[in-house]
Amino acid sequence: MRRMIATLTGATAAALIVPALATATPANAQSTQTVQTAAADPASALKSQFRVRHGVKLAENTKIIGEGGKNRSIFTRRSGVLEFGRSGMVASDLTTTFGLPTGAGNLKGLFVPSRTLSVKGSSYTSGGIYDDSMPEGKKWLRTKNDAVALVSPYQQMINIVEPATLKSTLTHTAAKRPGGTWDGTRTTVHSGTITLAELYRISPSVRTMLRKKPSGRSATLPVTWKIYLGSDQLVRRVVSSYTESTRGLNSTELTYVNDTRYTDWGVKSAIKAPPAGTVADFDELSIGADQSEDPITQLLTQ
């Protein structure tokens, strides 16, 4: 159970934006929008947004599809604010909710809404699967991160707030076309494919998520993507998908489709850790026996 909770904590990194802990309020368009000086490329445009206590709003939908045409799917929705410092993202405040297939039964309790604040190398999560295990008077479970990461197996694989990741991914562009209007600006959509091994090489957040270098079949796993760039070269939308295969006693194949929208570049933000008296660590939880099967797999293959 401890292993399952640790896994799903990363998977359900969440955040309902509560003013007492994190404020992210749009200022008027004149003051929040960094003046764009005809940025030569998307990575440069992104770096121009790296200002203390400013960030971007995120809204993401993920669909996890079971194998074999069973038409069983889990939907996740994630929304909130990513906050920047002078050299990149330094904090996030995000909410995750789930839409489960019919017949989820007892597993529904594992997929309740949760909120996660990631700040100064730690994440604080409230709600979710560990809520009933928290000590009396404690609301937030603290986990330590090697880096503040946006990516988990159930969220967007293409982390466009990492300039090097954005730049390298776009070198794999196979096609470009008009992408419609997003966040009030006309966009051009770039599309292509990148392997998991290449993402591991270029993306710090993917390295944090995977923990070890992919090898064999995993290394060549293709991640297809579309990146929508505005006329100011800032990303407004990213769509990616990949299919994960597990072969063994419980062979299964799951497909992940992620659609992320970025709006209000330059929004003001001041994300803070929760009060120390409301925070607990894993060794303080009341945890039952271990569970033999990942609940995501169980829901989509039963």
Higher pLDDT, 200 or 34: 200
pLDDT at 7: 41
Mean of the pLDDT values across residues 67-75? 65
Contacts of 60 (CB under 8 A, 6+ apart): 76, 77, 78, 79, 155, 156, 258, 259, 260, 261
Higher pLDDT, 86 or 13: 86
Q: Is the pLDDT of residue 20 over 90?
A: no
Q: How confident is the model at residue 268 (pLDDT cuts 50, 70, 90)?
A: very high
Higher pLDDT, 191 or 284: 191
pLDDT at 109: 61
Least confident piece of the model among 52-61, 129-138, 259-268: 129-138
What percent of the chain clears pLDDT 70, i.e. is strictly above it?
A: 71
Q: Taking the CA atoms of the chain, what radius of gyration do you get in angstroms?
A: 19
Specify whether the backbone of 38 is left (phi greater than 0), alpha (psi in -120 to 50) or beta: left
In angstroms, the CA 203 to CA 165 distance is 5
Mean of the pLDDT values across residues 20-24? 31
Least confident piece of the model among 70-74, 172-176, 184-188, 291-295: 291-295
DSSP three-state, residue 95: strand
Strands annotated E in the chain: 22-23, 54-65, 73-84, 89-99, 114-119, 122-127, 140-144, 173-182, 185-195, 222-230, 235-246, 252-268, 270-271, 279-280
Mind listing the pLDDT tens digit for each residue in 156-187? 889 999 999 999 999 999 999 999 999 999 99
Q: Please spell the DSSP secondary structure of 131-162, one letter per residue.
A: GGGSPTT--EEEEE-SS-----TTS-SS-TTS
Higher pLDDT, 51 or 67: 51
Taking all residues of the chain, what is their mean pLDDT, rounded to a whole number?
79
Q: Is the pLDDT of residue 18 over 50?
A: no
pLDDT at 298: 61
Higher pLDDT, 27 or 206: 206
pLDDT at 156: 86
Q: Is the pLDDT of residue 50 over 70?
A: yes
Q: Is the pLDDT of residue 35 over 50?
A: no
DSSP three-state, residue 116: strand
Q: pTM of whole model > 0.85?
A: no
Mean of the pLDDT values across residues 274-283? 93
Q: Is the pLDDT of residue 64 over 90?
A: no
Q: Which of 291, 292, 302, 5 lies closest to 133, judged by CA?
A: 5
Mean of the pLDDT values across residues 22-41? 45
Q: Is the pLDDT of residue 285 over 90?
A: no
Half-sphere exposure at residue 237, Cβ-oriented, CA atoms within 13 angstroms: 19
pLDDT at 6: 42
pLDDT at 283: 87
pLDDT at 244: 82
Answer yes or no: are the C-beta atoms of 187 and 209 closer than 8 Å.
no
Q: Which of 161, 261, 260, 155 lies closest to 209, judged by CA?
A: 155
Contacts of 58 (CB under 8 A, 6+ apart): 78, 79, 80, 81, 82, 94, 260, 261, 262
